Amino acid sequence: MTKAHKLDCESVSDTCRFIIQSENQEEAVELAQKHMKEVHGTELTAEELQSDHLQVV
Ligand SMILES: [Zn+2]
């Protein structure tokens, strides 16, 4: 089975239900960074996202 990289924004924010799921880790990180910046005004590095927020499912 292929692994997917997932960001569940609920783990970061109480109000946001945004979920990113991609089999491509780079894409997942890119989308997550964009979402965090545009919606939450938070700039996270790829490393921070990967270690703190992205799950492999
Ligand atoms: Zn969000």
Residue whose tokens read 């979920």? 19
Report how far ligand 1's centroid is from the alpha carbon of 8 (Å): 8
Q: What is the pLDDT of residues 36-57, one digit of tens each?
A: 999 999 999 999 999 988 999 9
Sheet holding 19-22, edge to edge: 19-22, 5-8, 54-56
- Asked if residues 16 and 4 have their Cβ atoms less than 8 Å apart, the reply is no
Cα-flanking dihedrals φ and ψ of residue 7, to 5°? -120, 120
Interval between CA 33 and ligand 1 midpoint (Å): 10
| Tokens describing residue 7 | 């960001």
CA 7–ligand 1 middle distance (angstroms): 9
Distance of CA 57 from the midpoint of ligand 1 (Å): 19
Ligand 1 ion: residues within 5 Å (CB): 9, 16, 18, 39
State pLDDT tens for residues 10-29.
877 889 999 999 999 999 99
Show the tokens assigned to 18.
Answer: 């945004």
User: Which pTM does this prediction carry?
Assistant: 0.85
Compute the distance between CA of residue 36 and CA of residue 50 in angstroms, rounded to an integer. 13
